Copies of this chain bind each other. A is one copy, B any other.
Amino acid sequence: MVLHGFLTIGKRVMEKTSSGNFFEDFEIGSTIQHALPRTVTESDNALYIALTGDRYPLYSYAEFAQSLGYRRELINDLLVFHTVLGKTVSDISLNATANLGYAEVLFLRPVYPGDTLRAESTILGKKENSKSKTGTVYVHTKGYNQYDEVILQFYRWIRVNKHYPDAITEWDEKPEMPSEIRIEEYQPPTELKRTGLNPAITGGKWFFEDYEVGERICHTDARTIEESDHMQATSAYLNLNNMHFNQHLMAHSRFGKRVMYGGHVISIARSLSFNGLENALGIIGWNNSTHVHPTFGGDTLYAWSDILEKKDLSGHDDLGALRIRLVALKNLDPTQPGVALKFMDPEKEKEQYHPNVVLDLDYYILMPKQI
């Protein structure tokens, strides 16, 4: 349809909307209190289960959580993570072109339905990138509950666009990022009493002692994610980046379509991993999370877990930490012959991730020992 004779609109377009911070805007040492704290409820857990298929009973069975010493069922730890991260998006990553890495993501306290979560971030450093169009910003984020207790913290670095791509800023302050969680210092939630665990509830046969370093668990389940599913989840996290929601815009991107929020891929992989890790009592944290390739609506996600390390926890002889590489693949069953995390590319003469791998998460879970 050809439109002609447009009226001029005769209106000043005002800049009342926020388009987020650019590289130049971040001030090293400053702390940003993010807007939009959120009361998380049992409804958010219910919706999370519908959108991910998560089965861990700690988040859906009140009496089970109570038998472990908690007041009632908990808010799913990844829902806590997404809620806290979601708050930072409008200040930190609205102009990000890449999420470069995480370090020392640590879940510090249980979150209950009815708690209100808020987030703050400190800018630790920033460094202009070589071609000067963008820069890397290093951030430390803390999530708090309504009692001002820290319930989650993480380091994160992202590549952010500059306002003025051609003006060289010479910012070059790259802070030291923690390389790994100091697992020997980690303490489980004080409420947690492993003795209350009844494995007939979880259906799990395996405890800390049963897992072996080097072992691979191919989780049998898989899940196809529709556009509605990931958009509803990402809306629930209040992470409203256009790349996840705006098909009209993303049709002209290099992907040609909306990209699923990487955190939701973690959620799906974690939910699939229930089959084989049923007795896990929550996520301790992660060292890093690599979003290897993008995931799109219509993709089917599979997952495997590689047991990387087994760590005792000082002062807790009935609990241990399993360090796991959780890998998610799209549209490929990992039990098929020849599937590997990486392969040697003979042309480039270096290792590459398998093209169907979408997530490589190096994380710790809390696993009860036999008693």
Binding site for B on A (CB under 8 A): 1, 3-9, 11-14, 16-19, 33-39, 41-47, 49-53, 55, 57, 60-64, 73, 90, 114, 116, 146, 200-204, 206, 210-212, 214-224, 226-229, 231-233, 235-236, 238, 240, 242, 245-249, 258, 275-278, 298, 300, 302, 306, 331-333, 335, 338-346, 351, 354-355
The answer to whether B224 touches A258 (Cβ under 8 A) is: yes
The one of B11, B16, B249, B275 that contacts A306, using a Cβ cutoff of 8 Å:
B11
Expressed in whole angstroms, the minimum distance between the Cβ of A34 and any Cβ of chain B is 8
The reply to whether B248 and A5 contact each other, CB–CB distance below 8 Å, is no
With a cutoff of 8 Å between Cβ atoms, the chain B residues found around residue A203 in the complex are 18, 34-36, 90
Compute how far the CA of A226 lies from the CA of B60 in the bound complex, rounded to whole angstroms.
26
Question: Which single residue of chain B is at the shortest CB-CB distance from A305?
Answer: B16
CB < 8 Å: which of B55, B222, B258, B275 contacts A238?
Answer: B55
Distance of A61 from chain B, by nearest CB (Å): 5
Q: Per a CB cutoff under 8 Å, which of B1, B37, B50, B57 touches A236?
A: B50
For the complex formed, measure the closest distance between the CB of A171 and the CB atoms of chain B, giving whole angstroms.
26
Beyond A7-B351, A248-B302, 15 additional contacts (C-beta under 8 Å) are A5-B344, A9-B340, A14-B212, A14-B216, A16-B210, A18-B276, A35-B204, A36-B61, A36-B201, A38-B57, A221-B242, A224-B227, A224-B231, A224-B246, A224-B258
- Known interface pairs A216-B11, A258-B224, A344-B7. Does A35 touch B200 (Cβ–Cβ under 8 Å)? yes
Tell me the complex Cα distance, A107–B59, Å. 27
Please measure, in the bound complex, the distance between the C-alpha atom of A178 and the C-alpha atom of B219, giving whole angstroms. 38
Contact between B226 and A12, CB atoms less than 8 A apart = no
In Å, the complex CA distance between A53 and B36 comes to 13
* Known contacts A229-B228, A249-B333; A221 and B240 CB within 8 A of each other: yes
**What residues of chain B lie closer than 8 Å to A345, measured between beta carbons?**
5
Residue of B nearest to A41 (CB): B42
> Known: A13-B218, A223-B246. Is A60-B73 also a contact (CB below 8 A)?
no
- For the complex, give the distance between the alpha carbons of A358 and B34 in Å: 33
Q: How far is the CA of A33 from the CA of B335 in the complex (A)?
A: 30
Distance between A43 CB and nearest chain B CB, rounded to angstroms: 4
Residues on the B chain within 8 Å of A221, using CB? 240, 242, 245-246
Q: Is B201 touching A222 in the complex (CB atoms < 8 A)?
A: no
Give the CA-CA distance A221 to B245 in the complex, in Å: 9
Out of B41, B224, B346, name the residue touching A4 (CB < 8 Å): B346
Q: Which 5 A-B pairs have the closest CB atoms?
A: A35-B203, A43-B46, A248-B300, A228-B228, A43-B43
Q: A343 and B55 in contact (CB under 8 A), knowing A35-B278, A62-B116?
A: no
Task: Name A248's contact: one of B7, B114, B201, B331 (CB within 8 Å).
Answer: B331
* A–B pairs, 29, beta carbons within 8 Å: A1-B355, A9-B340, A9-B341, A13-B218, A14-B217, A16-B206, A16-B217, A16-B276, A17-B218, A17-B276, A18-B203, A18-B275, A19-B220, A36-B55, A36-B201, A37-B61, A39-B62, A43-B45, A47-B47, A50-B233, A50-B235, A53-B245, A63-B146, A220-B242, A221-B240, A223-B231, A223-B246, A228-B229, A246-B300
Is the CB–CB distance between B227 and A226 below 8 Å? yes
Q: Tell whether, in the assembled complex, residue A340 and residue B39 are in contact, meaning their CB atoms are under 8 Å apart.
A: no
- Interface pair B35/A214, CB less than 8 Å apart: no
Q: Is the beta-carbon distance between B242 and A222 smaller than 8 angstroms?
A: yes
Query: What's the Cα separation between A345 and B4 when bound, in Å?
Result: 8
Contact for A73 among B39, B61, B63, CB less than 8 A: B39
